[in-house]
A and B are shown apart, each in its own frame.
Chain A
Amino acid sequence: AQKVTQAQTEISVVEKEDVTLDCVYETRDTTYYLFWYKQPPSGELVFLIRRNSFDEQNEISGRYSWNFQKSTSSFNFTITASQVVDSAVYFCALSERRGGSRLTFGEGTQLTVNP
């Protein structure tokens, strides 16, 4: 069965600090996909990134970067020089090829960036 664990329930930082959100996943499938979504106070889930299991190359997009390590089954998300607008709940999610199209979400991490 697939499972996603986000051990950090809440993180609070001061603006301009770097912050890393952890995501650990479990799957028996050899082909799978990992996602990060952002849920701001408005409630809508905003897609951030998608990776497949065959592509371990780390990715950077502006202040955001993602570290995918199959050896530790982790897909961590780092925000560099955090800003107040980054305050949101962040969800990591997993989709297995054999599991069809459904997403399995982690519990989410509430990030608060204080001015």
Chain B
Amino acid sequence: GAGVSQSPSNKVTEKGKDVELRCDPISGHTALYWYRQSLGQGLEFLIYFQGNSAPDKSGLPSDRFSAERTGGSVSTLTIQRTQQEDSAVYLCASSLAGTSGETQYFGPGTRLLVL
């Protein structure tokens, strides 16, 4: 596709429910990243995929957060048993090869609100 796409664009859920956020990277990009943007924490890194493997998932805030990538393309970020503090904008980015310092291109984000 022309750019990184994410779905849904908005998600409202109740505390304790599970949610899945989807990211479709730029075609041909082997690296994919998830970030979270919240009022209190700014923009923070969550996880990085190179192909289908995640060499760096050190930013995941708790074991309620997990992510997977299949076919070297689409990625899903799953949050189990959501809490109110999970409310944020979840941003996905992709880059061509995932090498250090490579430019990352971002999608429009998913706005998650946990009631």
A interface residues with partner B (beta carbon < 8 Å): 31-33, 35, 37, 42-47, 50, 52, 91, 95-108
Contact = CB atoms under 8 A, between A and B. Distances in A.
Interface stretch (B14-22, B63-71, B91-99): B91-99
Nearest to A107: B42
Interface of B: 31, 33, 35, 42-45, 48, 55-56, 59, 89, 91, 93, 95, 98-109, 111
User: Interface SS of chain B: helix, strand, loop or mixed?
Assistant: strand
A47 to B, nearest CB: 6
A42 B107 CA distance: 11
A102 B54 CA distance: 12
Contacts, number: 68
Nearest to A44: B108
B108 A42 contact: yes
A105 B89 CA distance: 15
B74 to A, nearest CB: 19
Given A52-B101, A95-B100, A102 B48 contact: yes
B3 to A, nearest CB: 8
A35 B95 CA distance: 14
Contacts of B55: 100
B109 A32 contact: no
